[in-house]
Structure 1
Amino acid sequence: MGGFGLIVIGDEILSGKRQDKHFAKVVDLLAERGLQLSWAEFAGDDPRRLTASLRRSFAGEDIVFSCGGIGATPDDHTRQCAGAALGLPLQLHPEGRRHIEERIRETAREAGREPDFAAPDNLQRLKMAEFPQGAVLIPNPYNRIPGFSIMQGEAPHHFVPGFPVMAWPMIAWVLDTHYAHLFHREPYAERALLVYEQAEAALTPLMERLQREYEGARVFSLPSVGDAQTRRHIELGVKGKPDAVAAAYAAMCAELDKLEAEYRPL
């Protein structure tokens, strides 16, 4: 099994009508458990493109979270595209149906009436429990309308709504239920500093040497041209196995001292 991937679905994200909030939160949810996000992508509501994207991710080896498009309105295609990507038919999930009917019953009684399960709007709601054959439910603590997981193969996929209030606890539940054995499995450390008024090219030989000499540590650099609050600088650091990171960081500081570079640890 590989890493973790994220797909955020919705034309409203690509058009700028809404700003994505899932990426940062998923990074945090994984980090709390000693895990990291390997990749992320945004997809619109075009069924052809979405099916192609899911077909590629299902063919990989990563655990994938998908946010958005699992409702039952005309612009929701994720359930159908997931089935098409795998060549699986959609089926009304019995337990999913029960959850939705419970929600219909609650909503009706809150309005002071008995539920009419045969009403067109309620029949439409049941489509939200039509998942690819063999899907496993993801419970939704907000309104009980579930998401679903496809666990077959090397690339498990977990599909949740686009609403953060629903999606985030559902993703946390999936991680804690299915992947607790992966938590904090590999010790990890990160050390970084700000180097002022240095060209990135001038520091590249140092970065290359550190990357070559300290196995288990990865060097990174994030240059900034500066603004009204700070001068031009480079965030320079190492991340990976704690022992390797400590040694590489010490060597980096020593070399910066030799260069008489101005820097500040973060």
Structure 2
Amino acid sequence: MIGLIIIGDEILSGRRQDKHLSKAIELLTERGMAVSWARYVGDEPERITADLRHALDSGDVVFSFGGIGATPDDHTRACAGRALGAELSLHPEARELILARCRKLAEQEGKPFEPDSPDTLRRLQMGHFPQGASIIPNPYNQIPGFSLLGRVHFLPGFPVMAWPMMAWVLDNCHADLHGRGRLTEKAVVVYGAIESVLTPLMVDIEARFAPVKVFSLPSVDHPVHGRHIELGVKGAPDQVEAAFNEMLAGLSRIGASIGPNVVQSGS
């Protein structure tokens, strides 16, 4: 399964709107993969640590967004260390990348590069990762992210950095998972339906065609269909057709009024 942890008080307070979830879905869909779960957490070290411990213990591939900078509200690196039970240390490759970035900034500003200056030392804090971490390259400014256990990946909160870094991880670390989450949805519009009447049919379809999932999306004021339910099935392409045909037959048996079919592939 693929999980997401999105960190930051600014998301929960509404000062900023999260864009990571929708982009992660897009990046995964392009590769035939899908999000299984997502969590939002504020800048509270205890909660971050608990969510990261769950991620590390879960066996899932997890992407954590945010909190890996070097300001007082950036807790993710320390929380990752506590969750893993590992000390933080300056990663050698991260050190070289960060120093190269600092050197380049000094040259751009026409200033001498000072490797022991307070500013450089603060930047080097962003290279302190739990021991055993591997780095994730950052094409935007070369300040890397990191991975633990080969499947829990820590990215910046800035979309311009995080999204190409996530794409790199998916293509370089998890290419074997591409295509495994490719799903097809087939649904039909059912006019004037009540979910409680449709529930026995839904339960029967899921029981007979597992692991296909049944979904029900009611609407009370649709501009075209009015009050209706979009009733459908979702699963691997080779499993959906039979389940959907049986759903249509079941709707016919109970005299449901049905409209057009809806098909969505590659989710």
**TM-score band (shorter)?**
over 0.9
Q: Which amino acid aligns with 1:134?
A: G
Match in the other structure for 1:148: 146
Match in the other structure for 2:198: 203
Structure 2: any 5+ residue segments left out of the alignment? Answer: 263-267
Measure how far apart 1:205 and its partner are: 1.6
Does residue 262 (structure 1) correspond to residue 255 (structure 2)? The answer is no
Q: Give 4+ residue runs of structure 1 displaced > 4 Å after superposition.
A: 227-230
State whether residues 188 and 258 of structure 2, in contact with CA within 8 Å, keep that contact through their aligned partners in structure 1: no
Aligned length: 261
Q: Which amino acid aligns with 2:189?
A: L
Match in the other structure for 1:24: 22
Match in the other structure for 1:49: 47
Q: Which amino acid aligns with 2:197?
A: A
**Further displaced range: 182-191 or 62-71:** 182-191
Q: Which amino acid aligns with 2:175?
A: A
**Further displaced range: 67-76 or 112-121:** 112-121
SS at 2:226 equivalent: coil
TM-score w.r.t. the length of structure 1 is 0.92
Distance 1:84 1:90 in 2: 9
Query: Among the aligned pairs, what percent are the same residue?
Result: 54
Cα distance change on mapping 1:196 and 1:114 into 2, 3 Å: farther
Cα distance change on mapping 1:187 and 1:98 into 2, 3 Å: closer
Match in the other structure for 2:168: 173
Distance 1:255 1:56 in 2: 41
1:146-204 C-alpha deviation (Å, 9 max, x unpaired): 0000026xxx2100000111111111111111111111146632212222221111111
Match in the other structure for 1:81: 79
Q: Which amino acid aligns with 2:212?
A: A
**Further displaced range: 109-118 or 60-69:** 109-118
TM-score w.r.t. the length of structure 2 is 0.92
Q: Which amino acid aligns with 2:152?
A: H
Q: Over aligned residues, Cα RMSD in angstroms?
A: 1.7
SS at 2:238 equivalent: helix
SS at 1:37 equivalent: coil
1:3-40 C-alpha deviation (Å, 9 max, x unpaired): 11100000101111111111111112112111111111
Does residue 110 (structure 1) correspond to residue 108 (structure 2)? The answer is yes
Match in the other structure for 2:265: none
Match in the other structure for 1:98: 96
Give 1:37's match in structure 2, choosing from 35, 42, 57: 35
Distance 1:158 1:87 in 2: 17
Give 2:245's match in structure 1, choosing from 238, 250, 258: 250
